[in-house]
Amino acid sequence: MSLQHALHSGFDRRLSKGRMDRSLLLFLVLQTALIVGWIVVGEIVYLPVVITVVALAFVASTSLSVAIPLIILAHALVFVQRTEGISIAEVGFAFLFFGVITVWMFDRLLVERQSLLVDAGDRPLILFLALAASSLALAIGFESNILLWLRELLVFLSFLLFFPLRDLMREKRGRRIVYAALLLLALAISVKNLIQYRSGLMLATYLWEVLRSRQTANEPLTMTILVGSIAVFMASGRRMIRIAALMIAAFFALALLVTFSRGYWLGAALAVLVMFILGTRTERVRILQLGITLGLVVSAVMAVLFSDVVIALFLSVFGRFVSAATATTDISVANRLIETQVVWDLILKNPLIGYGLGAKYSYYHLLRTVTHDTEYVHNAYLYLWFKLGLPGLVIFLVMYLSKIRDGLRVAWTNQVDKSLRPFLVAAVAILVAMLQISVTSPQFYARDSILIITICWATISAAQVRDGRTKGGGCSRDV
């Protein structure tokens, strides 16, 4: 069987009886072991939920067209239920996610006997995940919390979603399914954030309370849809599509504004700048037109939705934007600088191998006025260096920059299909923007960011063409 035929006829159709038997056996053995482990730790009350999720995962895993959007939408459960420990939502999500990934990997590697390593950055990705898993030895050596090590490892293992995503998104139908699921997820989260922000805003008495009511959950999703809709607006030649893109962009621009997250504002601006550079002359003119139109539409929507406090809201947004230029006087930024200095000092003591996933550190928190013990580092680069040492940071950057390089190469040639071009340009722009945002926000190890990164990588992979075949000998594009 040729690789082209295998990629089109393998996993995304119903498994044949022989392959179904082998996949089912492996799946049941793995999930039974996980269920037993879950019972051992004393959470037997959730066993029916776990069994239900296991069954759902197996049913979904026989078709990528069902499994992938289900996984994307299931992220909402993890985003909504945020806890210090491992929640039942996270357990259910893990069963669904790794159940699908396990069956897909078994099918690809052992049944179809295909290689996963076909694009630039694939080998560094596998090496990075292996390094993250091997940090267990460091976690034990430094007496870190093993449960925390596992939790952080599971987040990194989310990068494995790239491989089935790439498989599904080779075809136009698969890309539409993925983009639609991501849009629905972002829409649900953004509506929730806007409702919660308006509720908090109604209780505000002073101007500073307008800022305190802000909703900062899952800004990467909001920024991604905003950038993607701008890309569709600039590239589409159809008027109705541009109008729809304008409406979507206006909504998510408002949703991003009320997060008051300066890093994501700057990231969105950087992404638009990248698209402007990659765009044709006509596309650049449309971006400029959209900027003016978007400002008017968002202002009008703000006046309608927040009519009672619209002046205070405008003043807060303006003040937050201006403060980005004088951020060093902000106590939150000063707190980040203290955090950065403490982590940097620890890195200098052990720069090569790091401290392993699950490692914690302490610093004086200016906002809480207490000594804060945490595993969290706002600077994603320092996080990787602190946890996985210099090799971990270098391997990750090689992987990440390789994907951006391929995306830029294809975008510059301007030979990609017209229906895919706006998403390719948006994917490259978002990846570049995340490099900047990661200085102050954990883009490389947050679930929402990893989901977006893997979709961007799969989009770039779908756009790569060499003599009618994808780089590395994949199947031809179906666009």
150 occurs within a structural domain? no
130 found inside a domain: no
Q: Are residues 297 and 203 in the same domain?
A: yes
Asked if 99 and 204 sit in the same domain, the reply is no
**Which of residues 64, 97, 114 is at a domain's end?**
114
Question: Tens place of pLDDT for every residue, the chain, 479 residues?
Answer: 443 444 444 444 444 444 444 555 555 555 555 555 554 554 444 555 555 555 555 555 567 888 888 889 888 877 766 655 566 777 778 878 888 888 888 888 888 888 888 888 999 999 999 999 999 999 999 998 998 999 899 999 999 999 999 999 998 989 999 999 999 889 888 888 777 766 655 544 444 444 444 445 688 999 999 999 999 999 888 889 999 999 999 889 888 887 777 788 889 989 999 999 998 889 899 998 888 888 777 666 655 555 444 444 455 555 555 555 555 556 777 778 888 899 999 999 999 999 999 999 988 877 677 787 888 888 999 999 999 999 999 999 999 999 999 999 998 876 788 889 999 999 999 999 999 999 888 888 889 999 999 999 999 999 985 434 444 443 333 32
168 assigned to some structural domain: no
Identify the domain boundary among 86, 114, 142: 114
318 and 199, same domain (yes or no): yes
State residue 317's pLDDT score.
52
As a three-state string, the secondary structure of the chain is CCHHHHHHHCCCCCCCHHHHHHHHHHHHHHHHHHHHHHHHCCCHHHHHHHHHHHHHHHHHHCCHHHHHHHHHHHHHHHHHCCCCCCCHHHHHHHHHHHHHHHHHHHHHHHHCCCCCCCCCCHHHHHHHHHHHHHCHHHHHHCCCCHHHHHHHHHHHHHHHHHHHHHHHCCEHHHHHHHHHHHHHHHHHHHHHHHHHHHHHHHCCCCHHHHHHCCCCCCHHHHHHHHHHHHHHHHHCCCHHHHHHHHHHHHHHHHHHHCCCCHHHHHHHHHHHHHHHHHCCHHHHHHHHHHHHHHHHHHHHHHHHHCHHHHHHHHHHHHHHHHHCCCHHHCHHHHHHHHHHHHHHHHHHHCCCCCCCCCCCEEEEECCCCEEEEECCCCCHHHHHHHHHHHHHHHHHHHHHHHHHHHHHHHHHHCCCCCCCHHHHHHHHHHHHHHHHHCCCCCHHHCHHHHHHHHHHHHHHHHHCCECCECCCCCCCCEC
**Cα angle for residues 36, 87, 80 (degrees, 5° grid):** 145
Q: Of 290, 312, 329, which residue sits at a domain end?
A: 329
With respect to residue 138, please indicate whether it lies within any of the assigned structural domains: no
Question: Which range marks the domain in which residue 235 is found?
Answer: 190-329
Q: Domain count for the chain, please give it.
A: 2
Do 107 and 211 lie in one domain? The reply is no
Q: Are residues 105 and 216 in the same domain?
A: no
- 12 is a domain residue: yes
Token duo for residue 74: 């299931």
**356 dihedral zone (left: phi>0; alpha: psi -120 to 50; beta):** left
Residue 345 counted as domain residue = no
Measured in degrees and rounded to the nearest 5, phi and psi for residue 214 equal -60, 150
- The residue assigned the tokens 């066993």 is 47
Residue 411 lies in a domain: no
Cβ contact 225:248 at 8 Å: yes
Residue 294 lies in a domain: yes
Query: Do 197 and 320 fall within a single domain?
Result: yes
> Does the predicted model carry a pTM greater than 0.75?
yes
